[in-house]
Amino acid sequence: MTGGSVSSSLSSLTNRVRATRFPLAAPPWPASVPRPDPERRVGLEYDHEWSRRYPVRLARAIVVDNVTRPAARLLAPPTIRGLEHLQHIDGPVIFAANHASHIDTPLLLTTLPVEFRHRTVVAAASDYFFDRTWKSVVWSFALAAIPIDRSRVNRKSSDTAAELIGDGWNLVIFPEGGRSPDGWTQPFHAASAGYLGKRTGRPVVPVYLHGTRHVLPKTGEAGAKGPGGSGTESRRGGRLRRSPIAVLFGAPMTPDEGENTRRYSDRIEAAVATLAREVQSDWWQARRSVSAADPVPGAATAHRGPEASAWRRAWALDGPPSRDRRREWPD
Amino acid sequence: MSRRPGFVLEVDKSAPPTWFWNGEGFSLETLPEGSRVIYAPEPIEPIKDPYRAIRDALLHPVGDRDPLPALLRPGMTLTICFDDISLPLPQMEAPDVRQMVIETVLDMAAEAGVDDVVLIAALALHRRMTEEELRHALGDRVYDAFAPSGLLTQHDAEDPSNLLYIGETDQGEEVEINKRAATSDLLVYVNINLVSMDGGHKSVATGLASYRSLRHHHNPQTMRHSKSFMDQHRSELHSSNWRMGRLIAESGVKVFQIETTLNNDTFPPNFAFLQKREWEWSLRDRATYTATSKALEKTPPRLARQIFHSIRSPHALTSVQAGEVEAVHELTTANVWAQQGVAVEGQTDILTMGLPFICPYNVNSIMNPILVACLGLGYFFNMYRGKPLVREGGVVIMRHPTRPEFHPGHHPSYIDFYEQVLTQTVDPVRMSKEFEESFATDPWYIHLYRTGHAYHGVHPFYMWYWCAHALQHVGRVIVVGGDTKAVRRLGFTPASSLDDALEMATDVVGPSPTLTHLHNPPILMSDVQ
C-alpha cells in the first residue's frame, strides 16, 4: 500500500467517524444547559495508578515496541541527535520539549532509548486528555499519561509528578503548556520543568522536536482553518500526513547554585532554542549564534520567531527536515 | 447528587434529537430550533423501610380518624378494597405497594381478633383481574389466605344483589356502591396514587360504584368542565365524586383511607435511557437504544407487546398517609406534585407527544386506537394545572402506530364501538345520547364483564369522553406513523413523519408556530403559568 492510499484510507475513515451522529456518536450538550460537576473522577481527580502496574506496563511495552514505534517510524521517519547525552546519566530525568503537535508525545517516546522508554510518564493536559473517562483510560494506557493542570499552578499536579519522579519514573513534560499555534515556541512556564527539576533534584534534558506539526498539524492552526482562506488549507488541519522529523536531545541540566526557578526555566527554554537552531545548521553554528544574540541565555535566545505578521512568521519557519540532507563540506 | 427538578429545554442547534415513544418502539426526532422540551423531575428518594412507614401511618392517621388498631375489634366486619390492575404503570416490581399495605392492615386485624374480613378489588367497570395479576398485586400470602374461601372478590357493578343504593346528592346524582363495602363496620381503601387524579373520594365513589352511579360524572359535560381532571379544584369530575363521597360518609359508611405515592423511577436499569435526558446518554445508553430499536423493528408487534408488558417497574414508595379521606388526599396530592410538577411558562401552538405501549386500560393487553386517543388526549393532554399546555385552537401531534387491533377478550365492546359508533360520529355528546345506553345495557357485554375479563360495554364511551375536553380545545389532532384508516376513523389526521405533521399544523396555527414536547417517561404534570 502506498503512502497516498494510506493517507486516503485514513482520510476516509476520519470522515466517516466525523459524520457519525447521535445516537451512534455521543450526544451534543445543549448550550443552554449548564454542565454539572462530573461525578466521575476525571481530569485531575482521575486515578491513574493502575497504568503503572506491571501487567499494564508489559502490555504497553508490547504495544509501544510493536505497534506505535513501527508506525511512528513509517509515518515520521526521524533524525535523532544527542542520544549520547542519555548514555551516562542515571534516571529518572525530566524531558522538557517544545510542543507543536499531538503526535509529539508518541514520537518522542518511541525515540527514547529502551531503558527510558518503558519507565516514562507523560504530563498531559487534564482538561483535554482526561475530560472523559474513556479518554483518561486510553491515554493512561497508551502513553502512561498523568493529568496536569496547564492553566495554573496546581499543587496536586506538581505533587503527583514529583512523587512519580521520586519513585524512579522519568517524566516527559511540555513546558509551553500547550501546542504552539504557529510552530514557533511559546514561553516556558516556570512552574513546569524548571520547578520540578529544582524540587526533585533530578536533571532536565532539553528536547527539540522539529517538523512534527507537518505530520499532524494543530486543528485551527493559523492558516489551516482561518476565515477568508481559499478553503484548501482546512484540509490540513487535524489530519495525519507522512513527513520526516528531527528529535534533538540536549545535555542534561541542573540548576546553578542559588538559581531561582524562573531563571532556571529560562535557561531550559534557551537550551531548547539552541537545539532548534542546530536543526538549521550544526552544533557549533548554533552555539555561536546564541552567544552573539545573548551571551547570558535568556528570553532573547528563545525560539519565538520574528514579531511580524502571521505569514511572515510562517515563512520564517523552515519546512520539514529532509532525511537525505547531506552535509556539504567546504572544498 | 441531589435530585434535580423538572426542566424545560429550549432546543437550539447544539441540542441532540429528542426521544419519542412510538407504541412498542421509539424514535429520535429532530425538533425545530426554539421548541421546548419538558423533562420530569428526577425520582424522589424512596422510603428506606416501607413496612415501618406504613405501620407508622396507620398508627398516626390524619384528619378525624383514630389509629387503625383502635378501629378494629372482634366481631366486626372489615372490608379492604384496593386499586385494580390499572395502577401503577407498568406493574411494579414485587412486592407491590398494595401487598405491603394490606399485609400490615391484616396483621393489625389479626392482632385485634377480627374474623370477618373480605378483600375487594375496586374495579368499577374495568375488567376482572386474573389470578396471576391478583397474586402479583397482593402477594401469595394474602391471595392464598383469602381467595380459596371466596373472601377475595372483585367488585361486580352489574350484580344487583351486591349493590346498595345510598341516595342522591344535592345535584341529583345517584349514589350506588358495593353492598359489602357499604355495610361493613369499617371500609379500608388502599390506593396507589400514581397521578393526582387518583384517590380521594373518587376511590370509593367510582371504584366501588355501578353504572347507575358512574354515569353522573363519566359523561362529556363533566369532562369538558374538568380543566383538568388532574387538578382536583378545577375538575367537575372530582366535584361530583366529592359530593358522592360526602354523601357516602354521611350515610354512615366509615372509610379509613390509605393513600400511597410512588417515585417516577419507571423503568429498570436495562432501559435507563428511556427516562434520561438525551444529552446525558452514556455509551451504554446509546448502545442499548440502538440495539433495542433495531431489534424492535424486526420484532412482530405481538412479541414486542409481550416483551414490554413483562417489564416490571422499579417504582418505590415515597409517602404513605392514612386516615380521613379529604385530609389524606390533600397530603397525597402535594406529594404527587412534588414528584411530577414542572413549571412551564406559557402555552404553545403545537404540543407533541410520543405515546407508549401502555395506558391504564391495556395492562397485559392491546393498545387499541380508542385507547391511543384516550392516552394522548385524555391523559397526556390533561397533565396540567392552570392552563392546558397547548393553546385553544392549537394542534396536538401524537406519535403512535395506532394499529386497528383489539383484544377480543378484554375489549369486546371497543370493537363494536370502533365499527358502529366511530363510523357514525366522533362527537362525544352525540354518541352519549344515541349509542351509550345500548352498549351499557347490552346483556352480552354484561355477561363478558361479569364472567370473563372484559371491560364493561360502556367503557369505550368513557374513554372517548376522557378526550372531550381536548377535542373541544384543540384545532387539530395529528397522528404520526399511525395506521391511516384507523387514524381517520378517530377523526384525526395521519402524517407519515413529524416534519409532515408540523407542515400540516401550520395550516391551523399559522407559520412559525411555537412547539412544546411532553417528554415521557416518566410522567409529569405541567404547571402552566
What's the pLDDT at A157? 84
Packed helices B325-340 and B236-250: angle between N→C axes, nearest 10 degrees? 150
By C-alpha distance, the chain B residue nearest A134 is B283
- Do B59 and B137 share a domain, yes or no? yes
Which residue(s) pair with A206 in the sheet?
A96
Residues B280 and B391 placed together within one structural domain of the fold: yes
Q: A174 exposed, middle or buried (CB, 10 Å; 0-12, 13-18, 19+)?
A: buried
The pTM of this model reads: 0.70
Instruction: Determine if the peptide bond prior to B228 is cis (ω within 30°).
Output: yes
Partner B contacted by A30 (CB < 8 A): yes
CB atoms closer than 10 angstroms to residue A311: 10
Enumerate the β-bridge partners of residue B8: B38
Query: pLDDT at position A293, please?
Result: 56
Nearest alpha carbon to residue B399 among B529, B494, B524, B314: B494
Residue A131 distance to chain B (closest CA, Å): 14
Are A39 and B12 a contacting pair at CB < 8 A? no
Three-state secondary structure along B355-379?
Answer: CECCCCCCCCCCCCHHHHHHHHHHH
Q: Which one of B226, B244, B262 terminates a domain?
A: B262
Q: What is the pLDDT of residue A323?
A: 46
Residue A290 confidence (pLDDT) above 80: no
Strands, E, within B252-347: which ranges?
255-262, 317-323, 341-344
Q: How many CA atoms does the CB half-sphere of A65 hold within 13 Å?
A: 12
What are the residues facing B397 on neighbouring strands?
B352, B478
Residues B177 and B309 in one domain: no
Higher pLDDT, B529 or B408: B408
Alpha-carbon span B280 to B476, nearest angstrom = 34
* Whole-number Å distance between alpha carbons of B322 and B492: 43
Q: What is the DSSP string of A187-248?
A: PPPTTTHHHHHHHH---EEEEEEESHHHHSPPTT-TTTS-TTS-SSGGGTTT------EEEE
Where are chain A's structural domains? 36-260
* Structural domain that includes position B521: 7-42+266-313+341-528
Q: Do A22 and B28 touch (CB under 8 A)?
A: yes
The verdict on B186 and B297 lying in the same domain is no
State the pLDDT at residue B132.
95
* Among B378, B424, B367, B387, residue whose Cα is nearest residue B218: B378
Consecutive H or E run containing B478:
strand B476-480
Neighbours of B476 (CB within 10 A): 19
For residue A312, give the amino acid letter: R
B380 with B463, same domain: the answer is yes
Q: Are residues B26 and B123 in the same domain?
A: no
CA distance B311 to chain A (A): 24
**Are B81 and B138 spatial neighbours (Cβ–Cβ below 8 Å)?**
no
Question: What pLDDT was estimated at residue B431?
Answer: 98
What pLDDT, on the 0 to 100 scale, is given for residue A298?
46
Question: What is the CA angle B443-B448-B449, rounded to 5?
Answer: 95
Mean pLDDT of B262-288: 93
User: Is there a single domain that holds both residue B71 and residue B120?
Assistant: yes
Alpha helices in A237-300 (DSSP H): 261-280, 283-293
Residue given cell 424522589 in the structure block:
B44
Q: Where is B413: in which H helix or E strand?
A: helix B412-416
Q: Are A314 and A222 in contact (CB under 8 A)?
A: yes
Q: Which residues pair with A205 in a beta bridge?
A: A95
- In the prediction, which pLDDT does A178 show? 86
pLDDT reported for residue B116: 96
B120: pLDDT confidence band, cut at 50, 70 and 90? very high
Q: Looking at the complex, does the CB of residue A1 fall below 8 Å from at least one CB of chain B?
A: no
Q: Is residue B456 part of a domain?
A: yes
Do B94 and B161 belong together in one domain?
A: yes
Q: So what's the pLDDT on residue A286?
A: 67
CATH code for the domain in which residue B389 is found: 3.90.226.30
Whether B330 maps to a domain, the answer reads no
Q: Is the pLDDT of residue B196 over 80?
A: yes
- Cβ contact (<8 Å) for A29 and B17? no
Per-residue pLDDT at A235: 40
Cα distances from B299 to residues B24, B131, B267, B272, B292, in angstroms, run 10, 29, 20, 21, 10
pLDDT average, residue stretch B176-199: 97
Whether residues B398 and B507 share a domain: the answer is yes
Q: What is the mean pLDDT of residues A49-63?
A: 94
Find chain A residues with C-beta within 8 A of B281's C-beta.
22-23, 26-27
Q: How many angstroms separate the CA atoms of B274 and B28, rounded?
A: 11
CB-based contacts of A248, cutoff 8 Å, min separation 6: A80, A81, A82, A207, A208, A210, A275, A278, A279
Q: With the C-alpha atoms ordered B138, B143, B146, B152, is the resulting torsion angle positive or negative?
A: positive
| pLDDT at residue number A17 | 72
Average pLDDT over residues B249-274: 96
Report if residue B329 sits inside a domain: no
Is B336 part of a structural domain of the chain?
A: no
Question: Is there a single domain that holds both residue B275 and residue B420?
Answer: yes
Is A157:A56 a contact under the CB 8 Å cutoff?
no
Both B417 and B465 in a single domain?
yes
In a domain, B368, yes or no: yes
Check: CB of residue B220 under 8 Å from CB of residue B432. yes
In DSSP terms, B174 is beta-bridged to B168
Nearest to A31 among B12, B278, B281 (CB): B12
Residue B225: is its pLDDT beyond 90?
yes
Cα separation, B445 vs B299, whole angstroms? 33
Provide the 8-state DSSP code for B157.
T
Residues from chain A that touch B283, judged by Cβ atoms under 8 A, are: 26, 134
In this prediction, residues B169-198 reach a mean pLDDT of 97
Report the domain count for chain B. Answer: 2
Contact check, Cβ <8 Å, B290/A24:
yes
Q: What's the pLDDT at A301?
A: 55
* Cα end-to-end span (Å), chain B: 29
CATH code, B199? 3.40.50.11440
Asked if the C-beta of A292 comes within 8 angstroms of chain B's C-beta atoms, the answer is no
Q: What is the pLDDT of residue A310?
A: 60
Banded model confidence at residue A234, pLDDT cuts 50, 70, 90: very low
**pLDDT tens by residue, B331-390:** 999 999 999 999 999 999 999 999 999 999 999 999 999 999 999 999 999 999 999 999
Q: What mean pLDDT is predicted for residues B122-145?
A: 96
Tell me which of B7, B14, B284, B285 to substitute to probe the interface with A (most A C-beta atoms closer than 10 Å): B14
CATH of A36-260, one of 3.40.50, 3.40.1130, 1.20.1530, 3.10.50: 3.40.1130
Helices (H), strands (E): how many in chain B? Answer: 22, 20
Which residues touch B195 (CB under 8 Å, ≥6 apart)? B230, B336, B340, B379, B383, B523, B525
Place of cell 360504584: B209
Please indicate whether residue A19 or residue B167 has the higher confidence score (pLDDT): B167
Pick left, alpha or beta for residue B200 (phi over 0 → left; psi -120 to 50 → alpha; otherwise beta): left
Q: What angle do CA B250, B252, B257 make, to 5 degrees?
A: 90
Q: Nearest 5 degrees, angle CA A297-CA A300-CA A304?
A: 120
Mean pLDDT of chain B: 96
* Chain A residue with the nearest C-alpha to that of B10: A32
| pLDDT over 90, % of chain B | 98
Residue B23 β-bridge partners: B356
Same domain as B95, residue B24? no
Taking only the tens place, the pLDDT of each residue in A83-124 is 888 877 888 999 999 998 989 999 999 999 998 999 999 999
Q: Is the ipTM of this complex over 0.85?
A: no
Q: What is the pLDDT of residue B249?
A: 97
Q: Which residue has the cell 362525544?
A: B428
B12-51: string of b/e by CB count within 10 Å (b at 16+)?
Answer: eeebbbbbbbbbbbbbbbebeeebbbbbbbbbbebbeebe
pLDDT higher than 90, residue A183? no
Q: Of A23, A30, A36, which is closest to B289 when you measure between CB atoms?
A: A23
What tens digit of pLDDT does each residue of A307-330 get? Answer: 766 656 666 665 545 444 444 455
Q: Do A33 and B279 touch (CB under 8 A)?
A: yes
pLDDT tens figures, B470-479:
999 999 999 9
What is chain A's Cα-based Rg? 20
B356 bridge partner residues:
B23
The answer to whether position B388 is within a domain reads: yes
pLDDT of residue A63: 94
